[in-house]
Chains A and B, each alone.
Chain A
């Protein structure tokens, strides 16, 4: 081994520099390997160890009524959890003084904040586990109270939840979401893609104290918030109609009731009230059959409300006028089939016009009027009026109703369909038939929403689509004038009259098939569908109660119709009528 002579500092320095250089090169090499060659792998490992991934939830869009009232919105709810293994006495600083809080005392405070009993809270927090849920999804006020208690072994999880501030008002239409926040009924389901938005994701790094390291956030995907949906429903009118229907169904002890209000000129659905119905805040509290929208989903034989359409078809085809004279017996044999039809009450043979037939809602009379038109043509008109077809709304679970094919229209069906048997309609179809009559014979597509707003919340009112001329304007006007006589002089019809306004309407007491026997049962679907004001028809109100038990005819719904029509005219500031109905012969 060679030793440097102490007298050779230059050489010693060179050797030292050489060694340092080699070491430095080794470090540089290692650094290069770490920073460049193996950087990605190490970064991943490092990131996995320190990074906290977080889902950026997309806030679900809001559902508004036509006036901008919120019907559904997203709020934060909080799960209140504890770690039972850590439940113990603790010290709370109160007014700069330390106060010892026992478990029993803390449980009592929690119970008060969470509207629970102390025993229930104690049961939840006792144990050895690391997790126990004391209460799910409490509101912000309860969350605040819990936080203020400063209990060290209580922790909370924030969860986005859906709030329906007006409860069951339009609950049948708005629908609800499931536990995962996915729309499963009504508009929530129909517009789920629009409302839901897209969740994003970010990661950030935390220090040993769990606090986020600044500038460490990496947004992997941005959350795209859900967009809003605006309904055509007027929540105030909807509430009023629901109040009336809840009261009516209760009084009539019916299975259910519905009230539909349509803006005749636009086809916009202003109210779609039902009773009983669902509170989307707590759908589990409603029966399963009450969680939908029967206005779209329930079809039934319309009964006498279809007589209006039979008369309009006969007038349109030039086979009858409002004053066509008909001899109307109590019982009438159907031509070509061995079957007699009767009116609902015994009466001597009467001499009525088409208008008188509608006024008295005579089965034997309307069958004769309907018989003036070939059944194939009549069926084609019913098809044009929208029977047997779903509306263009596409509401989830919508029923098309039933309009049998020509081949299935046997001898009896050809006749009984003149007074609303052998066909079935949904409440929205019933209302829209009358919308066409009020709109100069032009059937519009019903509208329930103005669609999905853009990302800035802007939306455009849904345009009124060109309708379908199902009967001429003259026929529609003649029909309205006949309906006005139903309200003026009808035995039940006049109970729906609205003081100060010219109203036209038709009653209906439809039989309901008993599935057990396959025959008509003793209960009825009672309806009252009307328009007003007749001189410039603006609104259709269609009221139905299914299986009314205390009143078996449409008298049970005439009063509710009147109230809802009154409220509708008042809501939209429609001035009272200034004209009078023309004279039309009802008898001869």
Chain B
């Protein structure tokens, strides 16, 4: 059997292989190079994109940080501005002037340059009626006050004036004149 089969195969005509021409090796290599180049480009773009993304993210956090700094500085500026407002308010200035024993002179005197004439009668600023009063005007925004006035007063030898500090702006004599008006 086996011999017969072998002999049978040997007599069968050989089947023809369907052949065709392959593309030239050079062209295939060129295509592969293009694909590799394309892949590298894509990878480069991806890497670039990643870098840009990282940089952008960093910039966002940097921006957030700078904005936080700006908020801090704005808060600082506001705190200082409100301190200046408070210290320069008339209430604080009046209190400070009073503590320093300052007196508003009720007798202003002018020197007219053109003819060198003195206008007014010079008098020492001793009239207690012209003394700066303690502050009577409310100010809820007065959060900051000039400090250490007492030491300044002491060092300038002005503490002797403390006795008159409590004078108010308006003072009246004990006598009240009858009214001629109606």
Chain A residues within CB distance 8 Å of chain B = 7, 70, 75-76, 139-141, 143-144, 163-169, 211-214, 235-236, 239, 242-244, 246-248, 250-251, 275, 279, 281-282, 285, 303-304, 343-345, 360-361, 363, 419, 490-492, 495, 499-500, 507-509, 511, 551-555, 559-560, 563, 566-567, 569-570, 573, 575-576, 578
User: Which of these, B75, B137, B143, contacts A246 with CB under 8 Å?
Assistant: B137
User: Which of these, A7, A281, A491, A570, contacts B141 with CB under 8 Å?
Assistant: A281
C-alpha spacing A571/B99, complex, angstroms: 22
Do residues B110 and A576 form an inter-chain contact, with CB atoms below 8 A?
Answer: yes
Residues of A near B110 (CB, < 8 A) are 573, 575-576
Binary contact readout B73-99 vs A (1 if CB under 8 angstroms, 0 otherwise):
001101101100110111100100000
Do residues B82 and A140 form an inter-chain contact, with CB atoms below 8 A?
Answer: yes
Residues of A near B177 (CB, < 8 A) are 491-492, 495, 553, 555
C-alpha spacing A167/B138, complex, angstroms: 6
Q: Residue on A with the closest CB to B74? A: A76
Q: Residue on B with the closest CB to A213? A: B60
**Residue among B18, B137, B140 with the most chain A CB within 10 A?**
B137
Closest Cβ–Cβ distance, residue B120 to chain A (whole Å): 4
Query: Is B119's beta carbon under 8 Å from chain A?
Result: yes
C-alpha spacing A566/B63, complex, angstroms: 58
Do residues A168 and B82 form an inter-chain contact, with CB atoms below 8 A?
Answer: no
Report the 9 A-B pairs with minimum CB-CB distance, sorted nearest first: A167-B139, A553-B179, A344-B182, A165-B85, A361-B181, A281-B140, A246-B136, A239-B90, A140-B78
C-alpha spacing A242/B135, complex, angstroms: 10
Do residues A344 and B170 form an inter-chain contact, with CB atoms below 8 A?
Answer: no
C-alpha spacing A569/B119, complex, angstroms: 13
Do residues A211 and B86 form an inter-chain contact, with CB atoms below 8 A?
Answer: no
Q: Residue on A with the closest CB to B88? A: A165
A508-B137 CB under 8 A given contacts A141-B82, A167-B142, A251-B172: no
Do residues A363 and B121 form an inter-chain contact, with CB atoms below 8 A?
Answer: no
Do residues A500 and B107 form an inter-chain contact, with CB atoms below 8 A?
Answer: yes
User: Which of these, B91, B143, B170, B178, contacts A139 with CB under 8 Å?
Assistant: B143
C-alpha spacing A144/B64, complex, angstroms: 19
Residues of B near A242 (CB, < 8 A) are 136-137
Residues of B near A490 (CB, < 8 A) are 180
Chain A contact residues: helix, strand, loop or mixed: mixed
C-alpha spacing A360/B153, complex, angstroms: 48
Query: Is B59's beta carbon under 8 Å from chain A?
Result: yes
C-alpha spacing A119/B2, complex, angstroms: 111
Do residues B181 and A553 form an inter-chain contact, with CB atoms below 8 A?
Answer: yes
Residues of B near A343 (CB, < 8 A) are 180, 182
Do residues B79 and A168 form an inter-chain contact, with CB atoms below 8 A?
Answer: no
Do residues A247 and B169 form an inter-chain contact, with CB atoms below 8 A?
Answer: yes
Q: Which of B123-179 contact A (CB under 8 A)?
A: 129-130, 133, 135-143, 168-172, 176-179
The number of residues on chain B lying at the interface, defined by a beta carbon within 8 Å of a beta carbon of chain A, is 54
Do residues A166 and B91 form an inter-chain contact, with CB atoms below 8 A?
Answer: yes
Do residues B120 and A167 form an inter-chain contact, with CB atoms below 8 A?
Answer: no
A-B contact pairs, 10 of them (CB 8 A): A75-B82, A163-B141, A167-B141, A168-B137, A251-B170, A281-B139, A360-B180, A361-B182, A491-B178, A492-B177
Residues of B near A553 (CB, < 8 A) are 177-179, 181
Q: Knowing that A243-B135, A251-B172, A551-B176 are A-B contacts, what are 8 other residue pairs whose CB atoms are under 8 Å apart, sorted by A's residue number?
A: A167-B138, A236-B90, A243-B94, A243-B169, A492-B180, A559-B170, A576-B110, A576-B120
Query: Is B56's beta carbon under 8 Å from chain A?
Result: yes
C-alpha spacing A360/B140, complex, angstroms: 45
Chain B contact residues: helix, strand, loop or mixed: loop
A244-B140 CB under 8 A given contacts A167-B89, A554-B179: no
Query: Is B112's beta carbon under 8 Å from chain A?
Result: yes
Residues of A near B139 (CB, < 8 A) are 164, 166-169, 279, 281
Do residues B64 and A211 form an inter-chain contact, with CB atoms below 8 A?
Answer: yes
Do residues B63 and A165 form an inter-chain contact, with CB atoms below 8 A?
Answer: no
Do residues A344 and B179 form an inter-chain contact, with CB atoms below 8 A?
Answer: yes
Do residues B119 and A214 form an inter-chain contact, with CB atoms below 8 A?
Answer: no
Residues of B near A144 (CB, < 8 A) are 75-76, 79
Residues of A near B171 (CB, < 8 A) are 559
C-alpha spacing A213/B61, complex, angstroms: 10
C-alpha spacing A563/B167, complex, angstroms: 15
Closest Cβ–Cβ distance, residue B104 to chain A (whole Å): 8
C-alpha spacing A506/B29, complex, angstroms: 116
Residues of A near B136 (CB, < 8 A) are 242-243, 246-247, 250, 275
User: Which of these, B76, B89, B181, contacts A165 with CB under 8 Å?
Assistant: B89
Q: Residue on A with the closest CB to B91? A: A167
Residues of A near B181 (CB, < 8 A) are 303-304, 344, 361, 492, 507-509, 553-554
Binary contact readout B25-65 vs A (1 if CB under 8 angstroms, 0 otherwise):
00000000000000000000000000000001001110110
A363-B182 CB under 8 A given contacts A166-B91, A239-B137: yes
A214-B138 CB under 8 A given contacts A141-B79, A247-B168, A360-B180: no
Closest Cβ–Cβ distance, residue A266 to chain B (whole Å): 23
Residues of B near A555 (CB, < 8 A) are 176-177, 179
Query: Is B66's beta carbon under 8 Å from chain A?
Result: no
Do residues B182 and A247 form an inter-chain contact, with CB atoms below 8 A?
Answer: no
Closest Cβ–Cβ distance, residue A423 to chain B (whole Å): 15
C-alpha spacing A567/B109, complex, angstroms: 13
C-alpha spacing A264/B119, complex, angstroms: 23
Residues of A near B108 (CB, < 8 A) are 500, 569-570, 576
User: Which of these, A163, A361, A551, contacts B82 with CB under 8 Å?
Assistant: A163
Do residues B170 and A563 form an inter-chain contact, with CB atoms below 8 A?
Answer: yes
Residues of B near A164 (CB, < 8 A) are 139, 141
